[in-house]
Chain A
Amino acid sequence: MASIRLENITKKFKNTTAVNNISLMIADGEFFCILGPPGAGKTTLLRIIVGLEKPDEGSVIIGDDAVNEIHPSKRDISMIFQNLALYPDKTVFENIAFPLRQQKIEDEEIEKRVVEVAKHLKIDWLFEKIPSQLSGGERQRVAIGRAIVRQPKAYLMDEPLSNLDALLRLEMRVALKELQTNLKETFVYVTHDQVEALSMGDRIAVLNQGKLQQVDDPAIIYRMPNNMFVATILGNPPMNFLKCLLRRKNGTLQIEHAAFTLNSEDKKVFSLLKAGVGATGIVLGFRPEDIKIHLSKPGTVSIPAEIYVTEPLGSETIVDIKLGDNVIKVLAPPDFVGEPGQSVWITANTHKLHLFDESSHECVFHATEKSAFTIEA
């Protein structure tokens, strides 16, 4: 059991900076997810922690020891690779026993520990088989067995579920989460799948182009994204963005779009205008589930719009709605029925809106219950 600390890690490959000045603190016993699109530097970061890559700058600290100069074999960290990297010519038993054999442990002790781990993972009846004779889920379990058998300080996983089919992935997701709950060990889990990150992680770090975007609890990172990138990568369908104008009118602040206007009297929004943010424009962000569609005009203030396309998904329906020149995605109940071109009215959770700076894409304002906007159609 150990915590992992990264201090100002930078890694360059020729002309590209794979990891750019990243500092992270992963607590002991934490299920830590690293989320990012392909090429974000997630895997490189993981390989730096385990020692397969040397950082150009910065240091890796495991527990209390700086391990920059320590060979991966001596770091006492286990890793599950994306393609699992099971030894194809060795039996399941020998695959799991391999890390123990390297430690020159007595055969009886090895057998005892391998059997124990395999029983726990329900793969003890597969001992004599080789990896090519196993199913995807069984291979996954063997890889997990090989990782946990030597009880290391931490576990690193590089998209371990990405090669499995959808159903098995759901099953293994639960199995991994259960495993971590039982072991209470430090897990670092790399994924490009936001569902995995949100459902499994105690905390999530979002990475893009080698830079750390945000580190937080899943709930906070979903509710209060730092920038448009984080807002997009989490949530399916992703957050909607509308380009608006920010201006002052009659002592209130107005966020103006072709189809509607939002008013705010919050001081923080005023200070934005003063600071010159949004001089050219500001981006309004809101999640698909925070918009409600009405087929007839409701009593409250609502915005008239038009249905563009409906995508029924069984458990819910995604409705694409034309708002001015833009199309936004809205989540509706599964029994929603609507024809393209049909007129509808929408209302919004005005305390769940976000403002982003158009040029830097940084979030400049999260609305809250107290600082909710008012809609003007």
Chain B
Amino acid sequence: MEQKLYVKVLKFFLIVFVTMLFFFPIYWIFSMAFKPFPEWTAAGGKIYWFPNNPTFNNFRAIFSRKLEMSPIAGTAIRPILNSLTVSIIGTAIAMVVGIFAAYGISRYKAGGNLPFMLLQLRMFPPIAIIIPIMIMWAFLRMIDTWYGLAIIYGVVTLPFSVWLMKTFFDDIPKELDEAAIVDGCSNIGAFFKVVMPLAKGGIASSALFVFILNWSDFLIALILTDRRWTTIPVHISKLQSAMVGALYGPKAALGMIAAVPPIVFGILIQKYLVRGFTFGAIKK
């Protein structure tokens, strides 16, 4: 049916409005990162919608080691590397364990009630379990270590990876594994040669999902790290000075950098993502 012009116009403006609403925080972070101190501080009582005098000072403040006087000088490099390290290792743990667990659950009904127990694990608010974990980790001397944080990231995101991968494997007809087995593959051979290539999209989108969860975690990193292995979100919270309070400019700069890896990762696997997110929707 042909739509009336005013309906089309109304729809257009509604879409533009909602889009702007959603993208505004992102815009605000990006613009704030390039604003000089007088523009990002609230002290003047004036709001700058655009950076009038764009500058890299915020980035310089957190990356350059030359500004000896500043307490935050050069402090951001380590947290960025830390975040990358623990998030990638945590994601790897969750994905490797998750893929095999999900395949076992999907094909061999392994574990009985285990899949549901895994899901129930997620119903616990993290705050309820993080203190006991901290005590355990302290006892094991794993506080403020990369492996201490990576292991807990892998464990916490495991239910997601298992359930996501399980739905992807469930969507691949069982006859394909069986055909491969009859054609001369071992059980594990059928998985690697036939099922895995088909589940690429699912694996990629699950990995991205798990990575973003790990990357944006604040609570666990706050409690399980101290100085050496703080991550980006924790470090952002620490960016303040005695004189001006919260350093919103440097915070925005670091926040902008934090947004980069998920975006890059997402673009790299875009081909698989579309397939992954619509996987179950395609009728075979």
Q: Which residues of A contact B (CB under 8 A)?
A: 50-52, 71-73, 77-79, 81-83, 85, 87-89, 98-99, 102-103, 146, 150
Contacts and interface: CB of A to CB of B under 8 A. Distances in A.
A316 B183 CA distance: 45
Interface string B139-179: 00000000000000000000000000000000001011011
A99 B181 CA distance: 9
Residue from B180, B184, B198 having most chain A Cβ neighbours under 10 A: B184
Given A72-B181, A102-B185, 13 more contacts: A73-B182, A77-B182, A79-B178, A83-B173, A85-B176, A85-B178, A85-B179, A87-B176, A98-B180, A99-B183, A102-B183, A102-B184, A102-B189
23 contacts: A52-B181, A52-B182, A71-B186, A72-B178, A72-B182, A73-B183, A78-B183, A79-B178, A79-B179, A81-B175, A81-B178, A81-B179, A82-B175, A85-B173, A85-B179, A88-B176, A98-B180, A98-B183, A99-B183, A102-B185, A102-B189, A146-B183, A150-B184
Interface string B170-214: 000101101111111110010000100110000000000000000
A233 to B, nearest CB: 26
Nearest to B177: A85
Contacts of B182: 50-52, 72-73, 77-79
B176 to A, nearest CB: 5
A96 to B, nearest CB: 10
B170 to A, nearest CB: 15
Contact of A88 (B184, B185, B186, B198): B198
Contact of A87 (B178, B186, B189, B194): B194
B200 to A, nearest CB: 9
A73 B185 contact: yes
Given A83-B173, A87-B194, A88-B198, A73 B178 contact: no
A82 B179 CA distance: 11
A50 B181 CA distance: 10
Contacts of B181: 52, 71-73
A328 B214 CA distance: 73
Nearest to A81: B175
Contact of A89 (B178, B179, B189, B198): B198
A89 B197 contact: yes
Contact of B184 (A50, A82, A103): A103
Contacts of A87: 176, 179-180, 194
B173 to A, nearest CB: 6
Contacts of B197: 89
A98 B197 CA distance: 14
A98 B185 CA distance: 10
B201 to A, nearest CB: 10
Interface in B61-106: none
A79 B179 CA distance: 7
Residue from A51, A73, A88 having most chain B Cβ neighbours under 10 A: A73
B2 to A, nearest CB: 35
A159 B1 CA distance: 45
B176 A73 contact: no
A83 B181 CA distance: 16
A140 to B, nearest CB: 14
Nearest to A82: B175
A105 to B, nearest CB: 11
B202 to A, nearest CB: 13
Contacts of B194: 87
A77 B183 CA distance: 8
